[in-house]
Structure 1
């Protein structure tokens, strides 16, 4: 073993703490050797027959860590050290250190809650706070209550050690002192590389909300040329995703013909990843990487980093009812880690593609995934374990709204009934997929009946192979997305045909291996019970049958064309989406949509053509009665629907519609949220009350949709007129509160607040924390951030330029004045010379006017 790793000074103290306390937390910067040295150094703690399991957040990091440790031991991977990642495992009877990705650990704990044979679990790079790492730690803590010989070590470079220590029964926090090489950090506004070209920096870098603009790539080229002059070794460029890397590689490769451009991201082949990580002292390179290079990976030969300041994070999009990778600014902790990659082995240089003031406005820490992600898989794992989120030891509680959405989806998929897991749900939970895709695979086991009622047993006949191909396609990157040799189509059938051709050619294609692995997983899991009602689908060998299976996975994304000549579709979840005008899928009236680009106008990226027989099944159609105004008053219309899609409708005769139906039809419209947009006062009241309740004012009656629906008879029915109509909803809503409570709402959550200039500015309660958008000059003299709710709720300030454009977002006004204002002033006073920009904003008079009018 090498003897020059800084973490070696803590091996004995760490062994002692893990022996005496069982739990420990380690903070060590990148390069300290925690990932490669500690696992082998802690083997002596284990009893005979026990092993170490170490978690890594990404597949590429797990494989590289195993390779490096094996190399230090002078062995091949699969001997003393091995790895297990999704769809791939290299271990043997000799393996005592197993490096796994996070989902592999939770799956193992579901099978074996005591984690038999494991003596130590190491959570590496825990600061990334993925959903699976949080869940894995909670499950391992439960296992530790069942075994007194199970130890836990949590490691990170930028970890909040105190919070994790509390979770681990106040475990000791050990820190490694490492000589830090100096990294010179430069901001765009200091070297003025591209502002001289008329660009304003990050403000010009995003187009259509989710894409980096041509201006960004122009700026990136300038940044690379500048960095080439300042450094001598490889340059590491951080970009948000695979698409940005491909585009940047093309643009930079055309201009910098003598500099090899090397991509690095998780979906590359093992050979391509090894090539990107291999350092050649005689050849300088430009490495374009995603967040996979931010931690864990060792990339030798890098002495410079160019940080785009952007990343793609998985977030749930409430508007479309699904998760997506969203382009976002990184947090300061991520920026520090990126810069640190330039100073692993020697002094380095980092160029941040933003101004200093833009950097100062970044949030301090990347939010944990549990706060933003789709929680369907998380909740299914808990229900299989017979647990609830409240029972787990978690650093952060999952949002109630996200859990509610997850529960609703799992009930729709048949995985839960009355919040209890079903036999179908148990089988779904055993598959390493999102619950939607595992539902499709489980459904594929429902073999079609032969002509005499006997079951067909062949996998090729019951659709398992087709479903596995489809699941593999949807769980990985689209294999046809970046192929310039043929026009793009959203048709999933083309992808299914492609993967079939790859299999027939015996190609060593990752998607083929994944699909074949899924077939084995489904066979191994087996059908444990038949208590689920049998689902009738067409023979799944045909595209129609595959669409029926996909509709089981995405019941909320069944889509119907709005008109016969239109490229616009209505999804069952109420979302509208459009298909490319030239896409052959436009010929299909019905689609099942698997992937949407959910911008202002959602675009269909992946879908299968279907027909009514694919999507209409028992239990999928609901009956709704709605009230429609007509010249003579109103009509009650009975509709057969799949979600928001109307299949058939008929007008009820007068002798069929009674007063109760009229009231129920009105309530239906209100409960579905169709009326709130017509009554701003009612919507404001709901948002303000919910904001106060989230801040701890629980005595106020709830105003969330679920509660309003459940209590509609009490608060709304008395206000409905004899014609079944109501003019406004704020009065009925206010009736739910006592006079004292109404006064409390007005005091604690006012609709508007006075700022120092005297202006009354409306507070936006639709966002949490609530937002106060106000021109910067109107806050002169104000030191502390305004608060509401008796000081419990700080407002997020969107500080606007004189033109009303956001220039800074902060919830710490004092810090803004002292650390950031000078940069904002420097940047904007030339652009808005008629407005005051005093050097000392705290002693200046607040104003809404120009300097001429303030005289």
Structure 2
């Protein structure tokens, strides 16, 4: 029996006529409805003709796509309850590993991943009249991809297919523009807003009394978790109703639950809800209970779900988002500050049924500095699965897909490299038959590769069991040894073990039907141990993470990233590892291995064969050219032998690299060469144009221009040290234009002074300097100038002993005003030298007074 009273109380009912009109007119619409209004339940029932007078004539088939399995199950249960039916009758659901639909089902709730699989198999979505993408504000990659595919379907195959993007808080204008792109009028899709019953939620700022360390990687300061537990106790004392506490991950939930043992002892039930929780636990959380409850949850409880009885929210202020380090081949979740939008969503959980309160574990001042929205997953996540979906869709570059945010070019290129290496796409980016099989397994392409290739070598069942371990990381208490974790899961009776067995059965069935593999391993493979099998599959999934020992628990991965094991790990003595899970803490020099399996070199070579390379390696190392014949597995050096006759081109490049690293000082710089460089630098600075830049950076960037001949002849560092830098440098003078012939005129190496001496000019400073004994300049009225008379030479007047006596750029002024004081100071110290009263009329000399007389 339909529960009409409950349906009538859902606020979204008032927006249904406008929504129906928008769909009739445009075929697509954006529905913005606050939490608790019934958008996830009443709208699909109405579209399907199951919910009363607003429903169109006849039954339509509706698919509702949710970002999470827990939300899909909950939405289907709620709709079935509103109809007075069991799930699987007119309302059903399909999630990975579980399907409950029947011949009468007209509303099916699926995860966005399931929807993508269905679109790939049947792009027309035969028999489906409408698709509703729920919680699209979360910007999950699967949801964005599904929206793009659906818009493509509407534009080319099914213009009558109705599409609704629904969310409590979203970029309505952006989604309207996206959905409106295929409309007849070319304008944005209509935006329909539903008003909710807004129960007030009081905000209580509850920052820790003492500073806590910022989260990084997967690490959260235990002091913050202790403060969260204390805040939960405070909320229980100060408020009535159940408490919903948001934490970033399963580990943090377990730790806070452990600290709330005293609360459980007082009769308050402590429940843990997250994506890994069993269906029974999820049902218990969503069904309510007779006593008071504390529900510790990840972001799965932010939206789509109403947790009955909740009047208080405690928000730790953290969330987990995917991040990919493409350079190191590491993909993982990382802990970040929750966005303002997420904080609003979380707070709204306290006001779904009645007035409530939210305790925020940060200060009001910090709140304004939080990011406005969470990062779209397409901007930060590993795009390998997305790239395979796009290739299977026939758009390898994703250039024709309607997406709110374009995928970053670098991340997409890295994803294509992975797909090419595992045979999922060809050199042209087009999907292969193997890639199509991979896409239908419901796995990340890396794991799909491991399942297909591993099944041929160790059998479907064992390959499926290992891949099931890799697809959902085992609990930390299972340890870091993947083989040991496999044995624990096999005999374990915990919730993880149950999910693992279910997923392993699904994968074994899927691989048997995906590529015609044998259900049992060939005899030679069947003889292998479980440890060897698990290592092979892990290496097939993550070939760039095969790692060779470097000693003391340290390893080098094929990607070039160092990795280390904990002190108590049994794997520390392994010669080779297949690393399944690793993260790299902030500021750490190497990655930290979380889960791995021991392998041998043969397994590493077989799994990471695409990374194998052999050839001559000539490079600059330890201050000289090193030439070797090398076999490598990525960055791992397998075999190296000295190379007697390396290719000249490789030697030349190694020498050039050495110069770039250590600078032009490797060459032989005589006094003349340094002087030449200073003169050239002076003309470049003063005249520019064709006079070349001879700075270190410019010389190293243009080695081919001035040092090509010498580099081609050299073989080692010692040869570089014999190269006359001045002779090579002279090639940069502007000979072609003829300006080089004026080089000595514009920047003369020496200047003749009145005594007849030719004195070297120093161009190494900001202004050319002529350092000359004072007596040699008697009679010289004007200071010399260079660079076509543009630059005066700074004259350093020296005593007879060659010590500085005065500095001037205006000799006439010096003779008139400065000479007298210098004469008074020096003639007593140097009586044998001439000190005339009128230097402008005196005879210049290099000699003493006595010698002048003899002369």
What TM-score, normalized by structure 2, do the two folds share? 0.72
Match of 1:471 in 2: 467
Cα deviation 1:316-346 (Å, max 9, x = unaligned): 1345322111011011000011111111121
Counterpart check, 1:363 vs 2:371 = yes
Helix, strand or coil for the counterpart of 2:328? coil
Counterpart check, 1:27 vs 2:32 = yes
Out of 20, 24, 46, which is 1:15 matched to? Answer: 20
Match of 1:394 in 2: 403
Counterpart check, 1:551 vs 2:514 = no
Match of 1:498 in 2: 488
Partner Cα separation in structure 2 for residue 396 and residue 285 of structure 1: 40
Q: Answer yes or no: is the 8 Å Cα contact 1:265–1:292 preserved in 2.
A: yes
Match of 1:154 in 2: 165
Helix, strand or coil for the counterpart of 1:114? coil
Partner Cα separation in structure 1 for residue 623 and residue 18 of structure 2: 85
Counterpart check, 1:231 vs 2:239 = yes
Q: Answer yes or no: is the 8 Å Cα contact 1:339–1:350 preserved in 2.
A: yes
Match of 1:144 in 2: 154
Ranges in structure 2 where 5+ consecutive residues have no aligned partner: 50-54, 181-187, 665-699, 721-731, 733-855
Partner Cα separation in structure 1 for residue 562 and residue 463 of structure 2: 27
Out of 114, 117, 129, which is 2:127 matched to? Answer: 117
Cα deviation 1:634-677 (Å, max 9, x = unaligned): 23122110001000001111xx213212145578x89xxx9899
Partner Cα separation in structure 2 for residue 329 and residue 631 of structure 1: 44
Match of 1:262 in 2: 271
Helix, strand or coil for the counterpart of 1:287? strand
Match of 1:317 in 2: 325
Residue 633 of structure 1: CA displacement? 4.5
Helix, strand or coil for the counterpart of 2:41? helix
Give runs of aligned pairs for residues 675-694 of structure 1, distance below 5 A: none
Structure 1 pair 539/108, CA: closer, same or farther in 2 (3 Å)?
farther
Q: Structure 1 residues 307-316 or 539-548, which shifts more? A: 539-548
Structure 1 pair 46/115, CA: closer, same or farther in 2 (3 Å)?
farther
Q: Answer yes or no: is the 8 Å Cα contact 1:538–1:544 preserved in 2.
A: no
Helix, strand or coil for the counterpart of 1:364? coil
Counterpart check, 1:6 vs 2:11 = yes
Helix, strand or coil for the counterpart of 1:110? helix
Match of 1:246 in 2: 254
Give runs of aligned pairs for residues 390-429 of structure 1, distance below 5 A: 390-418=399-427, 419-429=429-439
Out of 601, 606, 625, which is 2:595 matched to? Answer: 606
Counterpart check, 1:597 vs 2:583 = yes
Match of 1:577 in 2: 563
Partner Cα separation in structure 1 for residue 663 and residue 98 of structure 2: 54
Out of 86, 102, 112, which is 1:76 matched to? Answer: 86
Structure 1 pair 13/678, CA: closer, same or farther in 2 (3 Å)?
farther
Match of 2:453 in 1: 443
Match of 1:165 in 2: 176
Helix, strand or coil for the counterpart of 1:649? strand
Helix, strand or coil for the counterpart of 1:76? coil
Residue 147 of structure 1: CA displacement? 1.4
Partner Cα separation in structure 1 for residue 525 and residue 639 of structure 2: 22
Structure 1 pair 35/56, CA: closer, same or farther in 2 (3 Å)?
same
Partner Cα separation in structure 2 for residue 304 and residue 561 of structure 1: 51
Out of 562, 577, 599, which is 2:550 matched to? Answer: 562
Partner Cα separation in structure 1 for residue 288 and residue 406 of structure 2: 43
Cα deviation 1:591-612 (Å, max 9, x = unaligned): 1111013212422111111111
Q: Structure 1 residues 363-372 or 622-631, which shifts more? A: 622-631
Q: Answer yes or no: is the 8 Å Cα contact 1:463–1:540 preserved in 2.
A: no
Match of 1:683 in 2: none
Partner Cα separation in structure 2 for residue 225 and residue 676 of structure 1: 60
Structure 1 pair 545/243, CA: closer, same or farther in 2 (3 Å)?
closer
Helix, strand or coil for the counterpart of 2:265? coil
Partner Cα separation in structure 1 for residue 75 and residue 660 of structure 2: 56
Q: Answer yes or no: is the 8 Å Cα contact 2:455–2:461 preserved in 1.
A: no
Determine which structure has more spread, i.e. the larger CA radius of gyration: 2
Match of 1:758 in 2: none
Cα deviation 1:389-422 (Å, max 9, x = unaligned): 1110001000111101111111222222212222
What TM-score, normalized by structure 1, do the two folds share? 0.72
Partner Cα separation in structure 2 for residue 67 and residue 724 of structure 1: 76
Q: Answer yes or no: is the 8 Å Cα contact 1:626–1:666 preserved in 2.
A: no
Compute the RMSD of aligned alpha carbons.
Answer: 3.1
Cα deviation 1:671-701 (Å, max 9, x = unaligned): xxx989999xxxxxxxxxxxxxxxxxxxxxx
Match of 1:339 in 2: 347
Out of 193, 198, 202, which is 1:184 matched to? Answer: 202
Counterpart check, 1:518 vs 2:507 = yes
Match of 2:103 in 1: 93
Aligned length: 650
Out of 339, 361, 381, which is 1:373 matched to? Answer: 381
Residue 620 of structure 1: CA displacement? 3.9
Structure 1 pair 112/647, CA: closer, same or farther in 2 (3 Å)?
same
Out of 651, 661, 666, which is 1:662 matched to? Answer: 651
Q: Answer yes or no: is the 8 Å Cα contact 2:462–2:533 preserved in 1.
A: no
Structure 1 pair 614/8, CA: closer, same or farther in 2 (3 Å)?
same
Match of 2:118 in 1: 108
Helix, strand or coil for the counterpart of 1:34? coil
